[in-house]
Amino acid sequence: MKRSKHMKNPILATLAIALVITAMVLGLSLTGCDNGNSTETHTHTWAWQHNATQHWQECTANDGAKTTPANHTGDPCSVCGYESAAPADDQPTISSFGAAPASITVPAENTVQLTCTAASKDGSAVKSVKWTVEDKPALANPTIENADTAAATVNNMEVAGTYKFKLVVTGNNDATKTEYVTVSAGLYYEVGFVAFTSGATLDFSPVDPLPKGVTYTLSDGTTTWNSTSGFVVNASSYENSTTPTFTQIFYLNGEEVARQVIRARVLNSLFANLRDANNVNLDPNAIPSVTLKWPADMSLPITHAITVPAIATVSNPLNFGAVSALSGWNSDFPSADVTYILTLDNV
């Protein structure tokens, strides 16, 4: 059978189109990045880079080449997420902002007030105010009351560390301005223990729950106790070591903040007496406590307040929890509550 010339042309045409498409694909793959004069194969990162008008992906050769440069689409950009800042002239004015107090001491204090004074560009009232938690210590769970007002209250700041709060003010022209407020929460707490007395056992358990974020371990150099295992130690375990040494270590978010060493003497399966790190005998009637303080160079005062109800007679002395002070008060008060604040400097 004789083939027609007309049957060859479609086949050749199809092959030609395929070659052109292949060349185009290869050409695109070899010029993924374009620096204007490079003929080598480039690869790019998938992360978008941007300036005020365009976005692109950087060449990994670090020679300034870019791929897929294009103008932003929308604000924020639907491709790279770039969002332009409002012109400074259009932003609202925040004349004052901050926290009161600017620092606190936990666990005695766990609340601060966030306040701001702001106005729109034209001097009128702002459209909105928003406070949010930007950063906080591990395990902390602060909450903001009235977060949409110029005067908000932060509660539950129970963990020592640094708290950062974000303030966004929106003017009546929808322009926004952002500021940040930082509050430092120090730690000061006295840990008491159940029983350091002669006998078959010692109980190194804290009398009261530890502040949030604080953990505690007890070790004799071989065995370690923690809040899960408990802190009761048996003298019968130390018959072959008549002078065991116990080390108490306290941590705040994993950082050591205090330690205490207790040396014991074991006789006939009983703890006979206890000594401190300097081998000074401990008073069996006065269990040594441990002071938790963070940061180590934190400055006091520490405040503690007590309110006396109206028309009350106060006996001697006033009770400030662990501190008894202000003796000599014995008088009738007027018809209003009276609050006394005890300040301990350089404890």
**Residue-wise pLDDT tens digits, 81-103:** 877 765 667 899 999 999 999 99
Percent of the chain with pLDDT over 90: 47
Cβ neighbours for 266, distance < 8 A, ≥ 6 positions apart: 235, 238, 239, 241, 242, 243, 244, 272
Residue 97: CB atoms within 10 A of its CB come to 19
pLDDT at 36: 52
pLDDT higher than 60, residue 112? yes
pLDDT higher than 70, residue 40? no
Full set of structural domains in the chain with CATH: 5-71 (no CATH), 88-186 (2.60.40.10), 192-294 (no CATH), 302-344 (no CATH)
- State the chain's mean pLDDT as an integer: 78
- Mean pLDDT in residue range 182-188: 96
pTM value is: 0.62
pLDDT band at 225 (very low <50, low <70, confident <90, very high): very high
Identity of the highest mean pLDDT range in 7-21, 48-62, 276-290: 276-290
| Residue 153 or residue 275, greater confidence | 153
**Residue 326's closest CA among 312, 300, 306, 346?**
306
pLDDT at 56: 78
Give the DSSP letter string of 176-198: EEEEEEEEEEEEEEEEPEEE--S
- Mean pLDDT in residue range 96-122: 96
- What are φ and ψ of residue 43, in 5° steps? -125, 155
The tokens 């007496």 sit on which residue?
273
- Over residues 297-346, the pLDDT tens digits come to 876 544 444 454 554 444 444 444 443 333 333 334 444 445 555 544 44
C-beta of residue 329 within 8 angstroms of C-beta of residue 316: yes
pLDDT at 302: 47
pLDDT band at 240 (very low <50, low <70, confident <90, very high): confident
Query: CA-CA distances (angstroms) from residue 166 to 132, 134, 172, 180?
Result: 5, 6, 20, 5
- Over residues 149-174, the pLDDT tens digits come to 999 999 999 999 999 999 999 999 99
- Mean pLDDT in residue range 95-118: 96
Cα angle 154, 338, 102 (rounded to 5 degrees) comes to 25
pLDDT higher than 50, residue 191? yes
Cα dihedral sign, 63-64-69-75 = positive
pLDDT at 181: 97
C-beta of residue 82 within 8 angstroms of C-beta of residue 72: yes
